[in-house]
Amino acid sequence: MYYNYGYGYGGGGWYTLWIILMVGCFVFAAWAQISVTSNFKKYSRVMTKRGLTGAQAAQAVLRANGVTGVQFTRISGNLTDHFNPRTNVIGLSGSVYDVSSVAAVGVAAHEAGHAVQYAKGYVPIRLRNAIIPLCNFGSSLAWPMLLIGLVMSSTYVMGIGVAMYALATLFQLVTLPVEINASRRALKALEQEGLLMADELPMARKTLFAAAMTYVAALATSLVQLLRLVMIYLSNGGGRRRD
């Protein structure tokens, strides 16, 4: 039995294009990760003139937006900072929680921005939270379903696999504006409340911009992988009219 894994769909040109796109995504993702690490390290050495720690800055961002009831906890790791909407807790790493650097303040304010999003009913973040279980389920079964479909010569099963991976891509698509919006809220509060001086704001902006690029890279990689799955599906007869 012969299985076409997509190399013959319209010739090998599309597969060559996919390889080029995938390499581009890999390079972009590597650059983004290096950029966020280097910027955080660089601006972690720049202490804020006001002397606010990351935790204090995050609390100030919440107060500026009228958000109460959010708890803070110190967590292990580096750049592991996050907001947990289920417990309403902001977890800040040791390099952020009680550190008075520009990078720490920027990262902590970003996480506070997520808490503000939930408190204000920001639709994209609620949508992301709602689809997480479905997206996790889809991403874990996408490739197995596609392979089962290939073995069974079933375009129907393959189509289910492609649809499941599309759910994972949807999660990346929804996540990007959520992260960008959280950074915008953070930077706006840092400026309006005077938490960072005029010469410090560009440093925080660079740190958060670098972090945002990692989400752009994740979305791009997911889209290119989805393209591959779609082409494999089409190469094996998916989407063709059956008489």
C-alpha 237/C-alpha 4 separation (Å) is 9
CA 23 and chain centroid, separation: 20
111, 179, 191, 200: the catalytic one is 111
Q: Please indicate whether residue 111 is annotated as part of the active site.
A: yes
- Tokens representing 207? 């740190």
Q: What type of residue is 64?
A: A
Of residues 100, 124, 96, the one with CA closest to residue 108: 96
Amino acid residing at 173: L
- Range list of β-strands (E), 114-166: none
Q: What separation, in Å, do the N-terminal and C-terminal C-alpha atoms of the chain show?
A: 23
8 Å CB contact between 149 and 229: no
Residues acting as catalytic residues: 111
